[in-house]
Structure 1
Amino acid sequence: MSEIEYKEIHEFSVEDLQDLFLSVEWSSGHFPEKLQIAMRNFETVISAWDGDKLVGMICAMDDGIMTAYVHYLLVRPEYQDKGIGKALVLRVKEIYKDYLRIVVVGYDEEVGFYENCGFEKADDASPLFITELWT
């Protein structure tokens, strides 16, 4: 592994996105064309690169003043435990330093990863979803 380079870009190839998202077994990796459009629409996208290989990213949207929502935070499994997730979160924290909070919703099996990146689980909150919009 060479030195990781961090970029604030919004343009990615469908192949890079598909490869990264499927590496962590996220179903959104099966829709790389939609991911490509989503990356253009996020307010904040920071990606981690090992040479020309996309190895991690964080994507956030915000309300402009109080709350930022991290929608994606992922790092390829073979690059985890190397500080990349923490580095991505630190960059987002700097961008949103004047906001009241940064929120991420993680599935139970992901909580440890997010905690390692600096997030704390709320004892008084539960994530709620509507995911089957077309049934």
Structure 2
Amino acid sequence: MIAYKETKDFTAAELQELFLSVSWLSGNYPKRLEKAINNSDTVISAWDGEQLAGLVNALDDGEMTAYAHYLLINPKYHGMGIGRELVGRLKKKYQGYLYLILIPEDKKNVAFYEQYGFEVIEGGTPMQIKTL
């Protein structure tokens, strides 16, 4: 049974294992990743016993806008509704905000987010400065 927690109590190794399970580059920087997660305003995680199965995090301004940065599920837990549950909990946490924003890393993930009420920002273009 999957348990959900709003906590930042992770080890660098737990985070590294989760992020590398989905081949995310940030998994190669476990100490930096641990610090980044600890500095997030919100982190909701999914646990299978002692195994970190997935997480979502957000950064917010305390009133109007929250940015969901990570949503990832270890592939061995795909299809179990964990992503749906994490997104639902995040939406509930920020229900009084004007905006909950995220940028999917891959266009194939757009349909996943659309089923939970997210919309593509017409005319918008995600931008970044990549320093890794």
With normalisation by structure 1, the TM-score equals 0.88
1:48 alignment partner, SS class? strand
Distance, in Å, in 1 between the alignment partners of 2:71 and 2:115 is 12
5+ residue gaps, structure 1, are none
Tell me the distance in 2 between the aligned counterparts of 1:58 and 1:23: 15
What is residue 114 of structure 1 aligned with on the other side?
A: 113
Opposite residue 82 of structure 1, the aligned amino acid is M
Q: Secondary structure at the match of 1:69?
A: strand
Question: Residues of 1 paired with 2:117 and 2:70: CA distance?
Answer: 15
Once the two structures are TM-superposed, the CA of residue 63 in structure 1 deviates from its matched residue by 1.0
Task: Tell me if structure 2 keeps the 8 A contact 1:18–1:29.
Answer: yes
1:131 counterpart residue number? 130
Using the TM superposition, give the Cα deviation of residue 7 of structure 1 relative to its aligned residue in structure 2, in angstroms: 0.7
CA RMSD of aligned residues (A): 1.6
Worse overlay, 23-32 or 112-121: 112-121
- The answer to whether the 8 Å contact 1:57/1:73 transfers is yes
TM-score, normalised to structure 2's length? 0.90
Q: Which segment is superposed worse, 103-112 or 23-32?
A: 103-112
2:61 is aligned with 1:63:
yes
Which residue in the other structure is 1:46 paired with? Answer: 44
| Structure 1 consecutive aligned stretches of length 4 or more whose deviation exceeds 6 Å | none
Contact 1:86 1:116 in 2 (8 A): no
Q: Give percent identity, aligned residues only.
A: 49
3-state DSSP of counterpart to 1:35: helix
